[in-house]
Chains A and B, each alone.
Chain A
């Protein structure tokens, strides 16, 4: 079983990439929110790299929605990259897909120049 890890990397121009590994669930969601809340406050763009995330439940979805709201509040942008169909099942089934900005990979998420959260 792979433990949950969060690795944050500077992508320049006030942008950061927060990469996750393992399982995002009710036990790990608070840790992610603690990381994202500060990063969103300090950066214009925060991209969540989910390419190595293997599980996400509605606790994870709640964190994504908090992150989107926080980014809107501070005039920044938050986006999700490289999330697998299996992993985003909770987002899809909750009907929140259209509310979570998603990109096929980190490069596309960083390159997106659309307004905050839209």
Chain B
């Protein structure tokens, strides 16, 4: 066996700490979204998501970040984008937020929002304490039965 081959252990969702989120803080810059997609892939694999589900999850977090990083009708007021991934019962909850001006709202009429809405099992946005949040939930399909 080649020395660089590491035996793969199947993901065991029961062993994943459920209460502790994975938090990623990156510069509010489009070139960092690739890091967030990578993190989503890794966490989806840990939860036992299928290849198709991971692919959809990557696209979903990308689109959610895009709603903040390509603002339509509002401006970010800070330099940081915070991404919070929380695992629970076979689903992954993702919240992306950034400081934004009062009254900021995502463009819910654009392609980004419509693609995102079709990809996930739950989608909401909110604005509080000077931050705009977009929150999505992606469920592992085998957990639905």
B66: min CB distance to chain A, Å: 5
Q: Is A1 a contact of B38 with CB atoms below 8 Å?
A: yes
User: Please, which residues of chain B bring their CB within 8 A of the CB of A108?
Assistant: none
- Interface range for B: 20 to 34
Which residues on A sit within 8 Å (CB–CB) of B65? 26
- With A57-B63, A89-B56 in contact, is A25–B115 under 8 Å at CB? no
Does A111 reach chain B (CB closer than 8 Å)? Answer: no
Q: Report the stretch among B10-18, B29-37, B81-89, B125-133 that lies at the interface.
A: B29-37
A46-81 with Cβ < 8 A to chain B: 55, 57-59, 61-62
Contact of A113 with B by CB under 8 A: no
> Number of A residues whose C-beta is below 8 Å from B?
18
* CB nearest to B117 among chain A residues: A93
A1 with B56, Cβ < 8 A, contacts A26-B62, A26-B69 known: no
**Cross-interface CB contact of A57 among B66, B110, B114, cutoff 8 Å:** B66
CA distance A69 to B31 in the complex (A): 27
Cβ contacts under 8 Å, A89 to chain B: 55-56, 59, 115, 119
> Which of A1, A23, A55, A59 contacts B70, CB < 8 Å?
A59
Q: Is B118 an interface residue (CB 8 A)?
A: yes
Task: Given the known inter-chain contacts A26-B70, A55-B58, A58-B63, please indicate yes or no for A94 contacting B114, CB distance below 8 A.
Answer: yes
B112 beta carbon closer than 8 Å to chain A: yes
Q: Could you say which of A1, A93, A96 has the most chain B C-beta atoms within 10 Å of its C-beta? A: A93
Closest to B58 in A: A55
Q: Name the one of B34, B37, B115 contacting A94, with C-beta atoms under 8 angstroms.
A: B115
Q: Are B55 and A86 in touch, CB under 8 angstroms?
A: yes
Whether B31 lies near A58 (C-beta < 8 A) is no
Give chain B residues whose Cβ lies under 8 Å from the Cβ of A41. none
Q: Is the CB of A25 within 8 A of B56?
A: no
Q: How far is the CA of A1 from the CA of B33 in the complex (A)?
A: 13
For B59, give its contact among A27, A62, A90 (CB under 8 Å): A90
Q: Which residues of B contact A25 (CB under 8 A)?
A: 30, 33-34, 37, 62
25 contacts between A and B (CB under 8 A): A1-B34, A25-B30, A25-B34, A25-B37, A26-B33, A26-B62, A27-B30, A27-B34, A55-B58, A57-B59, A57-B62, A57-B66, A57-B112, A57-B115, A58-B115, A59-B112, A86-B52, A89-B55, A89-B119, A90-B59, A90-B63, A93-B114, A93-B118, A95-B114, A96-B111
